[in-house]
Amino acid sequence: ETPTTATSGGPAASAAQNQSAGPGCARSTTGYPQVDVKGAVVGFSQSEKEANPFRTAETASIRDEAAKRGAELLYTNAQSDLNKQISDIKSMIDRGAKLLIVAPLNSDGLQPAFDAAKAKQVPVITIDRKVTSKPCTDYLTFIGSDFVEQGKRAAQQMIKATGGTGKVAILLGASGNNVTVDRTKGFKDGIAGTPGLTVVAEQTGEFDRSKGQAVMEQLIQSNPDITAVYAENDEMGIGAVTALKAAGKQPGKDIKIVSVDGTRNAVQLIADGSYTAVVESNPRFGPLAFDTLEKFGKGDEIPQNIVISDDEYDSANAAQKLGNAY
């Protein structure tokens, strides 16, 4: 398969082995009508601006797959506004969407939108962020990464890279975001058994490169003994690299950097030797989402929780897997 664009390149997310959990959900349980994906109007509600490569790749993946399967795609972007996302979803239902894919802005607050879909018997697949509503009732199923697991895997990478000793600074994601909460929890749990690794600072970089950079600049001054940085997304990690270089440090060498996402820029930095490791958060939900919709349409039972497999990049494989990064 030859990728058409850079963002849609790389392997599609596939369901991780044995990780799809929960009792099944089928059309017979929901009583929803049968809809063929081919020729159907499918709505996709994106949550945030596409400045972050993760979002770009996510949207591209859905778009490409919809085109491939002959579905008509309606697309909205909530621009980080929860109320707008609710309206977006309702308006797509109104405009005739028979199937919905939603990348929720946050884990809570979409209930009214789900209720609207339920009332019109429109199945909803949520991707990327898991919501607190009821699967198979409020929405069909969740396809996405296990963010706690991502944090744990980042911790493993960190332990491996530091040999289990060091002072870690955490660049937190945006406050109030469940991705932040989960990736922090996973990481802290992951290093709990390694007393040599201590967290000396945790400050928010708001998932943003320049904020990550600014915070890192402060921390490296007040805590010059920092030996490792855990960034909850690549953008902040890249910002940290810039900050550390400016402070005369050698990121990737005297200061280890581990982050989550798998963007091309970060993986490139690993290959260049100034980054330690990246745990992937795979944004290519398109194929899996449409497979799931098709399966559901056929009447098959689908799992309520589809955890996708995330890759990992480190110095051993970065150069060779660079093409997979987004």
Ligand X SMILES: O[C@@H]1[C@H](O)[C@H](O)CO[C@H]1O
Q: Where does this chain bind other proteins (CB under 8 A)? A: 46, 49-53, 56, 74-77, 79-84, 86-88, 90-91, 93-96, 105-112, 115, 132, 174-178, 180-181, 200-204, 208-211, 213-215, 217-219, 221-224, 235, 239, 242, 246-247, 265
**Shortest distance, position 12 Cβ to other proteins, whole Å:** 22
**Shortest distance, position 9 Cβ to other proteins, whole Å:** 16
The DSSP bridge partners found for residue 308 are: 15
Neighbours of 119 (CB within 10 A): 9
* Of 64 and 128, CB closest to ligand X: 128
Environment class of residue 62 by beta-carbon count within 10 Å: exposed (0-12), middle (13-18) or buried (19+)?
buried
Which of other proteins, ligand X, none interacts with 174 (beta carbon under 5 to 8 A by kind)?
A: other proteins
Residues 26-65 as x/- pattern, contact with ligand X by CB under 6 A: --------------------------x-x-----------
Q: Does 129 bind ligand X (CB under 6 A)?
A: yes
CB 129 within 8 A of CB 180: no
Which of ligand X, other proteins, none interacts with 31 (beta carbon under 5 to 8 A by kind)?
A: none
* Of 43 and 297, CB closest to other proteins: 43
* Of 41 and 270, CB closest to ligand X: 270
- 244-252 contacts at long range (C-beta below 8 A, 24 or more positions apart): 244/216, 244/220, 245/274, 246/217, 247/217, 247/220, 247/221, 249/220, 250/274, 251/275, 252/276
* Of 220 and 288, CB closest to other proteins: 220
Q: Does 261 bind ligand X (CB under 6 A)?
A: yes
Rounded-to-integer distance, Cα 103 and Cα 144, Å: 10
Which of other proteins, ligand X, none interacts with 281 (beta carbon under 5 to 8 A by kind)?
A: ligand X
**Nearest residue to 233 (alpha-carbon basis) of 194, 274, 283:** 283
* Of 80 and 299, CB closest to other proteins: 80
Rounded-to-integer distance, Cα 56 and Cα 46, Å: 10
Q: What's phi and psi for 257, nearest 5 deg?
A: -130, 125
Rounded-to-integer distance, Cα 155 and Cα 221, Å: 24
**Shortest distance, position 19 Cβ to other proteins, whole Å:** 24
Q: Does 149 bind ligand X (CB under 6 A)?
A: no
**Shortest distance, position 36 Cβ to ligand X, whole Å:** 30
Q: What is the DSSP letter of 80?
A: T
Element (H, E) at 13: none
**Cα–Cα distances in angstroms (integers) from residue 223 to residues 159, 161, 167, 229, in the given order:** 20, 20, 9, 12
**Shortest distance, position 263 Cβ to ligand X, whole Å:** 8
* Of 50 and 301, CB closest to other proteins: 50
Q: Is the four-CA dihedral 5, 271, 16, 138 of positive or negative sign?
A: negative
Write out the residues near ligand X by the rule CB under 6 A.
Answer: 52, 54, 128-129, 179, 207, 233, 260-261, 281
